[in-house]
A = this chain, B = another copy of it.
Amino acid sequence: MSLKPISEIGEFGLIEKISSLCKKTIPEKSSIVEGIGDDCAVVELDTSRLQVSTTDLLVEGVHFDLLTTPLHHLGSKSLSVNVSDICAMNAKPSYALVSIALPPSASVDMVEQLYQGMTHAAGLYGTALVGGDTSASSTGLVISVTVVGETSKERITMRSGAKPGDMICVTGALGGAAAGLNVLMREKQIMMEHLQSGEEYDRNMMNDLKEYSGAIQNQLLPSARTDIIDYFERNSIVPGAMIDLSDGLASDLHHLCRRSQAGARIEEGRIPVLSEARHIADEFQQDALDYAISGGEDYQLLFTISGEQFSAIAEHPDISVIGSITPEEDGIVLSDIYGMNITLKEPGGFDHFRK
């Protein structure tokens, strides 16, 4: 067996390879509308209904750190990140399957806290937890969540539907999750130093972090924007294209444009940055705009709509128009506050950021 390391083809090369192998299992005329390539797979249920489904695998030491992540929050987040993918298809979650592999050190109370977080989130989103699998893990905690949702052929929104002239919108304020992660990493560093020097450390540290609580909550306890999907439905809005902000605005805008074969121009001054993220960025002598553009894990929705639909979203207090879709050859550019156009490069996204 030759040993070409995965780093040689990168994560996208790997997904490309897996995707081309899996494509062969989808017959020409089948009920499968979309396989690998969007936020969810899409399957026809009948002449009008579509089922969407997504799955995420969370591995201790890669996706989360139990030193800085309470188990309630982890349980809730592991469901929310999947529901966020369902939202990105303009769909609503129906049910979820959850598997966990537990390290030898796991206690009954740990499992209870994890599931309490999950059932809390399930209640918020109206998602039933219907099954799963439990097993031992030879090392850390592993959580696998699959969420199945539903939408209609009229309402389904893919990454690929953006057209030049469409407005680019984003929900909420960005940068909070990245700012919160910075604070948590600093806190962990302090904790480790205390442990190494044998000093006491107050594990109930959250009390000291109150001024950062909004950003920390964005990182540990993000919410999927099912409220926006409900708003779209009530107001008969169907976005042209949509994706959820998991990798970061720059990466996710690139994903959306690539699938839509389009370009984009966004304006720095219009990007909604969480004010607490600005405050934290100042403290770390970093740029809050970097958190918002490259940070990832905000789990807000990035979508496009046509000019005719603008009036229907203009009233919403939590939706910002940040730019517009352009022809593919114009590339993806950020227009800074002085009107200078800068090519918006595709960063490595979330994983890269954590390095």
Contacts and interface: CB of A to CB of B under 8 A. Distances in A.
Interface of A: 1-6, 8-9, 11, 14-15, 17-18, 21-22, 24-27, 30-32, 34-36, 40-41, 43, 45-46, 53-57, 59-63, 94-95, 97, 99-102, 106-113, 115-116, 119, 122-123, 127-140, 142, 144, 146, 148, 351
Contacts of A18: 111, 115, 132, 134
B101 A59 contact: yes
Given A107-B5, A111-B14, A131 B53 contact: yes
Given A25-B122, A108-B8, A32 B95 contact: yes
B108 A61 contact: no
Contacts of A30: 128
Given A6-B108, A107-B2, A115-B18, A130 B99 contact: no
A46 to B, nearest CB: 7
Main secondary structure of the interface of A (DSSP, over half): mixed
Contacts of A62: 101, 135-138
Contacts of A100: 57
The 4 A-B residue pairs with the shortest CB-CB distance, nearest first, are: A41-B130, A61-B138, A41-B131, A144-B144
Given A25-B128, A55-B131, A142-B142, 17 more contacts: A1-B110, A6-B107, A17-B112, A18-B134, A24-B119, A24-B123, A32-B128, A36-B132, A53-B130, A54-B97, A57-B100, A57-B133, A59-B136, A60-B138, A62-B137, A138-B139, A138-B140
Nearest to A42: B130
20 contacts: A5-B107, A5-B108, A6-B107, A17-B108, A18-B111, A18-B132, A21-B116, A22-B130, A26-B129, A31-B94, A32-B130, A43-B94, A53-B148, A57-B135, A57-B142, A59-B137, A59-B138, A136-B351, A138-B140, A146-B146
Nearest to A27: B128
A108 B11 CA distance: 11
A27 B123 CA distance: 10
A3 B101 contact: no
B99 A55 contact: yes
B130 A35 contact: yes
Central interface residue in A5, A55, A122, by most chain B CB within 10 Å: A55
Contacts of A11: 134
Contacts of A22: 115, 119, 129-130
